[in-house]
Structure 1
Amino acid sequence: MSAASASHSPASAEDKGSILKQPRAVWAVAFACVISFMGLGLVDPILTSIAADLHATAGDVSLLFTSYLVVTAVAMLITGWVSSRIGVKWTLVAGLAIIVVFSAVGGLMNSVGGIVAARAVWGLGNALFIATSLATIVTLTQGSLKQAILLYESALGIGIGLGPIVGGQLGEHIGWRGPFFGVAVLMAIGLVATLIFLPQTPKPETKTSVADPIRALRHPGLLVVSVAALFYNFGFFTLMAVAPYPLQLGSTHFDAADTGWVFFGWGLALAFTSIWGANWLDRAVGTFGAIVIAMLGFAACLAAMGVFAPDNADPTGTGRPWGIVVCVIVAGFFLGINNTVLTTLVMGAAPVPRPVASAAYSFVRFFGGAVGAYVAGKVAEHTFQGAFWLGTGIVLVALLLLVVFRRFVVTTSAPTHGSVEEAEGVLVGDAD
């Protein structure tokens, strides 16, 4: 069935119920999701503050993303193994506890290396949490699978939007350590709520192997989507790791709080299209058409940022910061579309259980973010323009891969509702 035909299928009766009428357990996990995804953009407004205070370069500070993402990627391979043995609830609790401890540890460090190490362990907690949070929401949500995914995407978008503004405000008024402690406190609240409201879930009858996600990549469709997502995430984290520098350096006078507001706008744009824009565009032009539009739009934003960025050698900062501001926010619209559509696409990319396909996909794509943040950070030490244009090229490579190998990718939309068996299968541990 084509994307277009799938998109125009009638909605299930469950879709007509209110998405807001959910058990407290769903809201507890959703709240923790918001805080977890805040950690993604938390450090953006304080990158230059950390670099200045700890005498580090852009490449050094980019390791805050790289260590976090590398560990998250590798840990995706073990999340199913863990949750199938100790159960979903205790996997969530373990992930949240690790985030609480090591976000606080990051705020206590006096060197970039120390913060990078704390962020690495934070990545382990992040993997354990995000790999099971969607599964939990899908299982416990009263309504359709489509509504459950929408609720999860809403939490993701809100978290990504709030992260920069919280990081910017705390960074400006307390210092760069403030955001780390702030996340520790908020995540501790999420941990307590999860312990109180989330019921104990039975362990799956079938235990997941660590090798299952790797074996799943033998399916061409899943491999194509995963590798394309790897290149796409290179561009995504190029924006996150590099954009704060041309805004805050030179004579532009953007402080941490200002940068936080810029990325807050970016997060709102991302949340808007994640929740509403992606579904509308999917219905209008089909899944593949939505991906093409989103990737071309994002690549255009990165290329324009290269034009607006100042020359590193120019101490007066003669770039056009407001052009970068506009590009960052507009890029959020395209990123929201692409994130949602790729997540939907990967669910039917291989004839394997949804948790296994998702773990394999996340394992590959997070490496793209890890490499992208580090490489873009190193290039940005010499040329901001070059870093943005490199990201542009890599995103176009992602699109080219999908176009060339399109025949392997099944572009069906996510089902509007799932069976009991499907819900139980997702419970092992799905990821965004």
Structure 2
Amino acid sequence: MPKAVHVLGLSVFSLGTSEFMLSGLLPPIAEDMGVSIPQAGLLISAFAIGMVVGAPLLAVATLRLPRRTTLITLLTVFALGQVGGALAPGYGLLFASRVISALACAGFWAVGAAVAVAMVPENVRARALSVLIGGLSVANVVGVPAGAFLGEHFGWRSAFWAVGAMSAVALVGVVAFIPRIPIPETRPKLRQEVGIYRDRPVLLAIGTIALSAGGVYCAFSYMAPLLSDVAGLGGDWVPTVLGLFGVGALIGTTVGGRVADAHLFGVLLAGTAATTVCLVALALTAHNPVSAIAVSFLLGVSCFFMAPALNARLFNVAAAAPTLAGATTTASFNLGNTSGPWIGGRVIDLGFGFASTALAGAAMVALSMGTVAWSLGLERRRAANTRLVTGSSRSKRPTDVAGHAVVRTTGHAAVPAAEHTGRNGAHPYEAE
């Protein structure tokens, strides 16, 4: 794996720490800024919404810019956003710094994923993307607890300074190791990139990501009160259990990244099924502290096991728009990260209790299993059509004026057979 991919993973570690560390800093931020905890919680929502909106917008805005320069610029803006947050004298400026940081983070994720895919062979795409996702996993294991520790002992602003310093280190790595990727002679066209949203496999991939991520975060966002109020664990146990979830996430990402390239749909089906089971088990056994701890770890393994495959699938079906594919992946995950907690909150407001968020999340992930099965059915039908076309090419068939064999279909114009297949006879949308 190129060093540049690992540098991108280090950068994602900084981004992920900033994105999630506020969950452990809300009380001191609220007290210092003179706002309520729900108002302070809007800082988290602002970041997630900024990611949803910023990823496609910045991907389009930087479509014709050099990739390396774009990464350097976005990471610099992100680091400055952390400094702005650390120095913010009031809530308004802190809110603005989070929005700016989210936009830069979204753009970096989108472009960084596209760069990682461009630097490796297609048969190791998922493994390369697992390095980036691994940075997010390590952020949950190390970065978020470290941010909470700094906030408790040195004030919440120290956590922002620490992320700013990590971003500066990552920036040095990007400058030193990310190569200058040549700009193709034929520049990407926005109309061509946006056209991927008319493709059913792309839409199914987006739905799968949003539903699976939303289902997990529907329960994970309320894990602290579930562990304390339902499982009866003391407050000191909550960071430990969340850390175990992060360890499971790191294990799942590592294993899933190595398996997904060869068995993409197998990983997706197994991951969604296992995550659904874990969420149901969490809801039914949350009153037992030992079970709640064990299931939390297994949930981290199962949901991050499929994360590299989710990313790789979208890149496979959106090959005509690699930049928007990365942006769409980022926006889809954050759409789930935004909608899942909202749905969980509504379930709690209806009086069903904290454990019910896991059941609501299980229902969302089960729906994502259905979109995976739908996608697999489309792939099998297209693969069958490809075999039919290539298999019959041995027989004599009519040709067009260019000498290409054509396929005659009832009610449709004759189409050159070459348009039905991609490299080496594979369908353009066939998972590799």
TM-score bin (small chain): 0.7 to 0.9
Match of 1:184 in 2: 164
Aligned-pair distance for 1:261? Answer: 3.4
Which of 151, 160, 168 is equivalent to 1:171? Answer: 151
Distance 1:113 1:308 in 2: 42
Distance 1:112 1:237 in 2: 26
Contact 1:306 1:388 in 2 (8 A): yes
Which of 282, 290, 293 is equivalent to 2:270? Answer: 293
Aligned-pair distance for 1:199? Answer: 4.4
Match of 1:228 in 2: 208
Distance 1:154 1:49 in 2: 29
Contact 1:38 1:159 in 2 (8 A): yes
Which of 84, 94, 101 is equivalent to 2:73? Answer: 94
Q: Which amino acid aligns with 2:342?
A: Y
Distance 2:6 2:372 in 1: 36
Distance 2:380 2:101 in 1: 35
Contact 1:75 1:128 in 2 (8 A): yes
Distance 2:228 2:152 in 1: 13
Size of the alignment, in residue pairs?
A: 378
Distance 2:40 2:274 in 1: 28
Local SS of the residue matching 1:42: helix
Aligned-pair distance for 1:137? Answer: 3.6
> Which segments of 5 or more consecutive residues in structure 1 lack a partner in the other structure?
1-18, 310-318, 413-432
Contact 1:306 1:385 in 2 (8 A): yes
Q: Which amino acid aligns with 1:125?
A: A
Match of 1:148 in 2: 128
Which of 381, 392, 400 is equivalent to 2:370? Answer: 400
Contact 1:246 1:321 in 2 (8 A): no
Which of 376, 398, 403 is equivalent to 2:344? Answer: 376
Find out whether 1:355 has 2:323 as its counterpart: yes
Contact 1:153 1:275 in 2 (8 A): no
Distance 1:86 1:294 in 2: 36
Local SS of the residue matching 1:384: coil
Contact 1:68 1:119 in 2 (8 A): yes
Find out whether 1:105 has 2:84 as its counterpart: yes
Distance 2:292 2:92 in 1: 30
* The 10-residue stretch of structure 1 (273-282 or 178-187) with the greater mean CA deviation from structure 2: 273-282
Match of 2:422 in 1: none
Match of 1:416 in 2: none
Match of 2:395 in 1: none
Contact 1:224 1:409 in 2 (8 A): no
Q: Which amino acid aligns with 2:18?
A: G
Distance 1:47 1:56 in 2: 9
Which of 235, 249, 252 is equivalent to 1:254? Answer: 235
Aligned-pair distance for 1:139? Answer: 4.4
Distance 1:247 1:324 in 2: 7
Match of 2:282 in 1: 305
Which structure carries more relative contact order (alpha carbon 8 Å, separation 6+)?
Answer: 1
Q: Which amino acid aligns with 1:241?
A: S
What RMSD over aligned residues (CA atoms) do the two structures have, in Å? Answer: 3.6
Correspondence 1:16-95 to 2 at 5 A: 19=1, 22-23=2-3, 25-47=4-26, 50=29, 56-57=36-37, 60=39, 62-95=41-74
Local SS of the residue matching 1:254: coil
Find out whether 1:332 has 2:276 as its counterpart: no
Contact 1:212 1:356 in 2 (8 A): no
TM-score (norm 2): 0.74
Write out per-residue CA displacement over residues 36-91 of structure 1, whole angstroms, 9 at most, x where no aligned residue.
Answer: 23334323333565567766356x55534432222212222233334333311221
Local SS of the residue matching 1:86: coil
Write out per-residue CA displacement over residues 89-117 of structure 1, whole angstroms, 9 at most, x where no aligned residue.
Answer: 22112221222122333345577766554
Distance 2:381 2:51 in 1: 27
Contact 2:278 2:298 in 1 (8 A): yes
- Matched residues, percent identical? 20
TM-score (norm 1): 0.74
Local SS of the residue matching 2:36: coil
Aligned-pair distance for 1:142? Answer: 9.8
